[in-house]
Structure 1
């Protein structure tokens, strides 16, 4: 081995004077060659790439502003399965019932995990939660545990459901609307508060007043988090850009908003621990604190897991439900004949 290394070194020193290169230039050339080999090397056993793939950027420019239309065009040209290069990552695109069923149903466990997305994972503890966790025993145990808790707290149909709590929040929302005396106003804030309070009642065992300062900061953090996650997609494609000033602004905002949410949940965990009734758990955090003590259903559950699991409930539940209600209200407004048949607040209760 030592003889081989010495022979390579002697050969390089003989070549340098002939080629006119310095040692530093030669080393830069070698490093560049190796990096180019890694970047441009096509992985084996992947479906075909469509035309338009560029170094580093991949197909990002080819997809343009309407990626769904470009993907549809590529399907006609390359078939139901092809590979798209998104920055430095290869993404296999599936089209059609047969291909999707084969991957997601017939071979479901092979495709069960989520693709790593830097910004999204940074807000969820890099897999310490449920939503961004890798497929495996830990994920299944945490998901089953959380689902069981939510059902026991009323996320079900029939007796013992959370419907009564939802009705109470809708009554509060109706009173807020009545305060405007028929004058135009934006209902988005109040709908968000209503939805978030339902989640708070299940997670923290309490609701917040509409003007509560902590609640306002929590709600604003949710909005910032969701908006900036979309604006910071470039960082998820090229994670190294998180170190570049100006470009990383969206990433910084996402992390700041995430820390605010986690801090509120952390403070609630501390308060719950001080007043924990082990015989009568009241909410999601109580059940989690009991599991932290007993370690009976989720192997190795930590307080950090609980933090991010509770965060999942807010982030996943607030935006989706709020937008569903706001779109429903918009369609009711645009179709007054339907609104007369089913008043909009009756629709809120049903949803």
Structure 2
């Protein structure tokens, strides 16, 4: 035993002499290594990893071109909760009603943060908005303020609803369709204008003409951002690739489009400040400018926050709704028998007027068709969340800040 100890001591001394390390530096290195080992070992009770993980890339190659299909297949083998490696990052995947309801409904506060997303963070001010913000007092205050403001502006059912504006835009769209006199045409632009104008009415207090150049630039820039963020995920996994030409094209295009959106929103904020009626706020920007002056509900709210929050409303509401409507129209066209049944139910319940939310309970077939479109063509198969603290899910330990 004494001989072994002497051998270890002599070996350590020889290593220190060769590497020119001091004994103090060597001890610091050993302690650091042991602490790291303990910390990482303690947090390894993660859900199981599927097969197919490789160094550096993790499960990227195994996920293929349809990752939502692959994780559905893995669910059958590994259960409702498992972990995939995206590059060097652990991402916990939840499948099934029970696991998802537990996380997003029953314990929503524990899964209410967002994981780092380099490209999306770059266009949301690294969490200065609502959609991409990390969990914390600032996020909660901005979210409560935005929801309360939108309700004041009519985002609700019943008296004072924003329904009339939606019906007004639907009428404009109907008239645009009629102008084609039954001839084939591409309705995509008109649908996007209609949806975006509903958002514009709420945010800016005005609507734009279908051919307005500023509006066209705004709507096209929003679509570009959403497309490039979706296709530029490789930069999120390996951020250093943002310096590599061609590979960083998604980042370049997204930021170029973002600056166009920012310019439009900045001009609108300036215009609203000049004509602000403090007694009668008209739209979302008016309410935000009043809060900037009063600082009553959102601590430290800045004009930059206002710009990013307004941008969120366009991101969340424009392309998502427009794409759902376009898929609905396509499926109606491909299934004329179902289209006829939808029309019959609308004629019987609504008649010559425009439908309202109060008709919804009387239109079960129309509702079923809309829900079926959203089931077939899910806009976001993955809902990206992150844990706000360490949490246990079905016996596994998920560390704070883990992407889910």
TM-score bracket relative to the smaller structure: 0.7 to 0.9
Equivalent residue, structure 2, for 1:334: 334
Give distance in 1, aligned partners of 2:67 and 2:130: 29
With 65-74 and 210-219 compared, the bigger mean Cα shift is at 65-74
Gaps of 5+ in 2: 1-12, 22-32, 358-404
With 296-305 and 333-342 compared, the bigger mean Cα shift is at 333-342
Deviation at 1:198, TM superposition (A): 0.9
Give distance in 1, aligned partners of 2:307 and 2:323: 25
Equivalent residue, structure 2, for 1:325: 325
Give distance in 1, aligned partners of 2:69 and 2:329: 30
With 227-236 and 125-134 compared, the bigger mean Cα shift is at 227-236
Give distance in 2, aligned partners of 1:170 and 1:325: 12
Deviation at 1:327, TM superposition (A): 1.7
What does the per-residue CA deviation read over 1:8-38, in whole Å, with 9 as the maximum and x for residues that have no partner?
Answer: 7633269xxxxxxxxxxxxxxxxxxx9xx99
Give distance in 1, aligned partners of 2:108 and 2:172: 44
Deviation at 1:339, TM superposition (A): 3.6
Equivalent residue, structure 2, for 1:220: 220
Equivalent residue, structure 2, for 1:152: 152
Give distance in 1, aligned partners of 2:77 and 2:332: 42
The alignment covers a number of residue pairs equal to 324
Deviation at 1:56, TM superposition (A): 1.0
Equivalent residue, structure 2, for 1:189: 189
Does the 8 A contact of 1:166 with 1:349 survive in 2?
no
Structure 1 pair 350–88 and aligned structure 2 pair: CA distance change class (3 A)? farther
Does the 8 A contact of 2:163 with 2:356 survive in 1?
no
| Equivalent runs, 1:1-351 vs 2, <5 Å | 10-12=17-19, 44-343=44-343, 350=356
Does the 8 A contact of 2:167 with 2:354 survive in 1?
no
**RMSD (Å), alpha carbons:** 2.7
Identify which of structures 1 and 2 has the higher relative contact order when contacts are C-alpha pairs closer than 8 Å and 6+ apart. 2
Does the 8 A contact of 1:170 with 1:349 survive in 2?
no
Equivalent residue, structure 1, for 2:371: none
So what's the TM-score if we normalise by structure 1? 0.84
Equivalent residue, structure 2, for 1:24: none
What does the per-residue CA deviation read over 1:116-170, in whole Å, with 9 as the maximum and x for residues that have no partner?
Answer: 1111121111100111111222111111111111111111111211111112112
Give distance in 1, aligned partners of 2:219 and 2:295: 32
Structure 1 pair 287–342 and aligned structure 2 pair: CA distance change class (3 A)? same
So what's the TM-score if we normalise by structure 2? 0.74
Give distance in 2, aligned partners of 1:53 and 1:127: 31
Q: Secondary structure in 2 aligned to 1:312?
A: helix
Does the 8 A contact of 1:224 with 1:254 survive in 2?
yes
